[in-house]
Amino acid sequence: MPAAGAAIQAAMAVLPALCLAVAVMRLFKEPEKVLWIAFLPIPVVAYRQFWDLNMYYTVIFSLVSVAFVFAVLLATSFRKPQIQLPKILGTRFMTLAVAVICTVLSLYFLLAADANNRKHEEYARLEYLGENHKWNDILKSVTPKDASADELKRAYALLALSETGNLAEWAFRYGLDSQNNFVFPDKVDPLYLNFNSLFYQCNAMHNGVIQQSYQQGIQSVIGVSFSTVRRLADTYLALKDYALAKKYIDILAHSTCYRKWVKKRLPQLEAIRTMVPAYEYDANQSNIANFIHTIASMVDMNRDNRKYADLLFCALLSEEEGEMFKSMFRNLAVYQYPSGKDLPRLYEEALILIAMAEPEVLNGFTISVDTQQRFTDYVGLMNAGRGTQALRKHADTYWAYSY
């Protein structure tokens, strides 16, 4: 379906050129020599199309082109004109020159004239990959350097790490520096609201999905998007709310693009027809403005859920809440790491750092030989006055972040 949508939008750009080509064939004495005239509208369409979110200008331009060619066909059906241009305009060089110039201009308008074009194209790709749970592809697309420079890309990378079980290994490599790197409590941009609702959907936090989805619909120029409607439908299915799930599935059923999607969910919808909606209200869970409180609420209800625990621990470490981390980690380690072994790298780094002042914090836990050796090297470089080298060599560690 995305390919079909892109093909339709591309056809909108080609249609004016085709219409002008037909007009040239009807108006000129030697039309095959001046078909380059048909290239002329392409840069104009390219200039307007990227930010034409509701396709207003694109559709108007296409309709005007169709009306023009019909007018030409009607006029030339009675008397065919024989317009003759100067010979220099009918050369192959002229055709090649116009084609090259129009192509270069089109690429310039799409890729370089507005730097936001490229950025939003990258965001759209991340949205697509996230909605289809292609987390490894996100990590291939977003480098640690990208994540450090762009807060939205960082959020997608951190979510991908969380969904692949690698958050407690590489969170600081991807620029984690605050609990607000995971979600954006104070952003009203639809791009950020869409990410927030995706994050809450991935973590089965239905209140957050609904709240952020409605906010996104309010703030978006185009209103509620199909992706938002899909997310709401799936959320209400999970909540066993038949009436609301049916409402959004019925909306999608009227779109030719989502018939297969709807067909897959009809059995799920029928299965909850007589069920009581499974709503749960929790003050902390609904308070999305404070991520640590929100995720702590989820951890409290799901103590054996490793993903929730990693989000909480990494948020605490990013906020330098060492005492709270130490306390919560010891309480939850019984559920997460009952043997006291095979701790994720960042937790080992945090515990061994805390142990410098409180050795007893390591009781019951085993720190890997690799972490011990790296910490010895880090401390040695620091004590030798080579702090810059230590921070560069161990840049993605909790020690460097804490320093």
Side-chain-side CA neighbours of 276 within 13 Å: the count stands at: 2
CA 380/CA 374 separation, integer angstroms: 10
59-73, 238-252, 310-324: which range is least confident on average? 59-73
Confidence of residue 232 (pLDDT cuts 50, 70, 90): very high
State yes or no: pLDDT of 56 exceeds 80. no
Q: What is the pLDDT of residue 120?
A: 84
Q: What is the pLDDT of residue 336?
A: 86
Average pLDDT over residues 236-247: 94
Question: What 3-state DSSP class applies to 308?
Answer: helix
Confidence of residue 381 (pLDDT cuts 50, 70, 90): very high
147-156, 280-289, 384-393: which range is least confident on average? 280-289
Q: What is the pLDDT of residue 130?
A: 96
pLDDT tens, position by position, 137-196: 999 999 999 999 999 999 999 999 999 999 999 999 999 999 999 999 888 888 999 999
9-13, 44-48, 100-104: which range is least confident on average? 9-13
Q: Which residues contact 1 (CB under 8 A, 6 or more apart)?
A: 257, 258
Q: What is the pLDDT of residue 224?
A: 79
Domain boundaries, the chain: 2-113, 117-160+182-271, 303-402
Let me know: does 117 contact 145? Beta carbons within 8 Å: no
Q: What is the pLDDT of residue 117?
A: 73
> What do you get for the CA distance between the two ends of the chain, in Å?
49
Q: What is the pLDDT of residue 287?
A: 55
Q: What is the pLDDT of residue 284?
A: 47
Mean pLDDT of the residues in the chain:
88
State yes or no: pLDDT of 36 exceeds 70. yes
State yes or no: pLDDT of 316 exceeds 50. yes
Average pLDDT over residues 276-297: 73
Closest CA to 120 of 58, 53, 180: 53
Side-chain-side CA neighbours of 155 within 13 Å: the count stands at: 23
Q: What is the pLDDT of residue 41?
A: 84
Of all residues in the chain, what percent carry a pLDDT higher than 90?
Answer: 51
Q: What is the pLDDT of residue 15?
A: 84
pTM over 0.85: no
User: By CB neighbour count within 10 A (0-12 exposed, 13-18 middle, 19+ buried), where does 330 fall?
Assistant: middle
Of all residues in the chain, what percent carry a pLDDT higher than 70?
Answer: 93
Would you say how long the chain is, in residues? 403
Kindly report the number of other CB atoms within 10 A of residue 152's CB atom: 21
Let me know: does 268 contact 237? Beta carbons within 8 Å: yes
Let me know: does 361 contact 326? Beta carbons within 8 Å: yes
Q: What is the pLDDT of residue 90?
A: 84
CA 342/CA 366 separation, integer angstroms: 7
pLDDT tens, position by position, 200-214: 999 999 988 999 998
Please identify which residue in the block is written with the tokens 């997310």.
231
83: β partners: 28
Let me know: does 317 contact 325? Beta carbons within 8 Å: yes
Measured CA distances, 390 to 330, 382, 384, 401 (Å): 29, 6, 10, 12
Which range is most confident: 225-229, 232-236, 256-260?
A: 232-236
Q: Which helix (H) or strand (E) holds 316?
A: helix 306-318
Q: What is the pLDDT of residue 118?
A: 80
Confidence of residue 223 (pLDDT cuts 50, 70, 90): confident
State yes or no: pLDDT of 230 exceeds 90. yes
> What per-residue string of b and e applies to 109-123 under the rule 16 or more CB within 10 Å gives b?
bbeeeeeeeeeeebb
Q: What is the pLDDT of residue 177?
A: 93
Q: What is the three-state SS of 187-235?
A: CCCHHHHHHHHHHHHHCCCHHHHHHHHHHHHHHCCCCCCHHHHHHHHHH
CA 363/CA 190 separation, integer angstroms: 47
> Both tokens of residue 254?
């009227």
State yes or no: pLDDT of 1 exceeds 60. no
